[in-house]
Structures are given as structure tokens and as C-alpha cells.
Structure 1
Amino acid sequence: MTAAGFKELKLGKIIGTESCRWIIFTSAKGLVDGSSNRLPSWGCYTLNRQDLEKEGVKPDVFVKNNFLDSL
């Protein structure tokens, strides 16, 4: 959401890799046995109706990460 808003408002360039696409909000409902169940409740879209769950946000400048970058 932050990268999408930053890009939409033209506040600067997005540098890095494409966003993860894991952006959906869930809500939990309690069940009679005390457990709970989580279901998707709403998604996130840009003002142009781009689904951030399916498409993500592409950076203006792509920087490739490799395994050693995460160490």
C-alpha cells in the first residue's frame, strides 16, 4: 500500500523489487468450539482499479536481490 500510494502521488521513484502481492485483509470469526476462522474481507486497489493482490507495484528502478543480500 505504501509503495502504491507513493507512486500514485508521484512523491518520488520506487527503487527495489516488485512488491510481494500479499496484500489482503482478513477478519476472524469465533466458532462455537472456541477456535476461529479467518476469511478475506477486502482487497486493495489503486485509483485505476489495479488489484495489488494480483499485480503488485513495479519499481521505477529495479534492483535485483540475491541470496547473499539476505544474510
Structure 2
Amino acid sequence: MGKIIGTESYRWIIFTSAKGLVDGSSYRLPSWGCYTLDGQDLEKEVVKPDIFVKNTFLHRLEGRDRQIERAVSEILKDLKN
């Protein structure tokens, strides 16, 4: 549906939610995961971007987001075509 721009996924993408207990403590349970359109579970699987662009700490200090810059560039390129 669109290009993925950025870095690889972290491989650990099951989301958990906390539940409280009567003594004030809590525990976490898996609440949902991520799947491909054909149903493949992406837990422990890497998702590679179509265009690899990594932001670094220095970019952050400069107030730059190279991933967004590249995404805008790709959109503008597609609009010209």
C-alpha cells in the first residue's frame, strides 16, 4: 500500500496491558500483537523497510528527522510522476 521508510522493527512487538491487584501491585498480560495481512505473526520477526534511513542522536540534537525528510521527498517524487 505504501513504502516503509526507517529502520528494521525490534522483533519484540507484543503489546501488554497492566492489571491491578487488590494489594496495589500489578501484573502485565499480552493484549495484542502485530500480524501481516495474511495472518503471519510478526513476534520475533524483523520487518525490513523498503528504504533504510536511520536517525541518530546527532540528528536529534540538530532537530532533524531524516526519516520524515525522506518520506516527504518520496511523496513529492511520486506526485511529480
- What TM-score do the two structures reach when normalised by structure 2? 0.53
Other-structure match for 1:59: 49
Superposition deviation, residue 42 in structure 1: 3.0
Q: Which runs of 5+ in 2 are unaligned?
A: 62-81
Structure with greater helix percent: 2
Aligned residue pair count: 61
Alignment correspondent of 2:10: 20
Q: Considering fraction of residues, name the structure with more strand.
A: 1
Secondary structure, counterpart of 2:41 in structure 1: coil
Cα RMSD after superposing both structures: 2.3
Q: TM-score, normalised by structure 1?
A: 0.58
In structure 1, what is the equivalent of residue 39 of structure 2? 49
Work out which structure has the larger RCO, using CA pairs closer than 8 Å and 6 or more positions apart in sequence.
1
| Structure 2 counterpart of 1:19, one-letter code | S
> Structure 1 regions of 5+ residues with no counterpart?
1-9
Q: Percent identity?
A: 84
